[in-house]
């Protein structure tokens, strides 16, 4: 199974940590949404899309990429994110992917270190996240695609 992980991680590299765990487990290539590889999605059996959450949404670069993609058929995808709060923010991205014809077969989220806005004044929240436990869960999540 050929897997591509498309990610962006602009705040503290939190989502990059998770993307790497998932990519390692699936022997997947990791790319940013601006890289040429995203034009060759047809070569992949499963594609992951993930980023941090900014103003309740995945990074604009991920959302715009999905928006611009041609419609696909019988293509599997999963989504992931890290965020300051434990709210589930994956729904809009999942819906965008589904609208393009993707079959969304999984989602992962965990908390990430957050120093945005007022949180900066208190040294940030979720220090050390994603932590070892988060990474173990991300690995487990990725492993489920190998079964």
* Residues in touch with ligand FMN (CB under 6 A): 9-16, 52-56, 82-85, 87, 112-114, 116
Residue 19 or 76 having the CB closest to ligand FMN:
19
- Token pair in block for residue 90: 């994956």
CB of 58 to ligand FMN, least distance (A): 9
Which residue, 13 or 106, has its beta carbon nearer to ligand FMN?
13
Nearest CB to ligand FMN, comparing residues 83 and 90: 83
Give me the residue whose beta carbon is nearest to ligand FMN. Answer: 112
Q: Tell me how far, at minimum, the Cβ of 83 lies from ligand FMN, in Å.
A: 3
50 to each of 64, 79, 120, 121, how far by Cα in Å? 13, 6, 24, 28
Nearer to ligand FMN, 63 or 72 (CB): 63
- The long-range contacts involving 136-143, CB below 8 angstroms and separated by at least 24 positions, are 137/108, 137/110, 138/18, 138/21, 138/22, 138/80, 138/108, 138/110, 139/21, 139/22, 139/24, 139/25, 141/22, 141/80, 141/106, 141/108, 142/21, 142/22, 142/25, 142/26, 143/25
| CB-CB contact of 3 with 27 (8 Å) | yes
Please report how close the Cβ of residue 103 comes to ligand FMN at its closest, in angstroms: 25
How far apart are CB 144 and ligand FMN at their closest, in Å? 22
Task: Select 61 or 103, whichever has its Cβ closest to ligand FMN.
Answer: 61
């Amino acid at each position: 199974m050929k897997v591509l992980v498309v990610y962006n991680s602009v705040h503290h590299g939190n989502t990059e940590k998770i993307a790497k765990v998932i990519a390692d487990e699936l022997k997947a290539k990791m790319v940013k949404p601006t890289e040429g590889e995203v034009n060759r999605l047809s070569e992949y059996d499963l594609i992951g899309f993930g980023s941090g959450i900014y103003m309740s949404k995945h990074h604009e670069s991920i959302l715009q990429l999905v928006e611009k993609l041609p419609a696909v058929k019988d293509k599997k995808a999963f989504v992931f994110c890290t965020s300051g709060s434990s709210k589930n923010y994956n729904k809009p991205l999942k819906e965008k992917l589904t609208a393009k014809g993707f079959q969304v077969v999984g989602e992962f989220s965990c908390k990430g270190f957050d120093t945005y806005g007022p949180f900066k004044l208190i040294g940030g929240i979720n220090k050390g996240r994603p932590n070892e436990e988060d990474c173990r869960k991300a690995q487990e999540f990725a492993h489920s695609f190998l079964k």
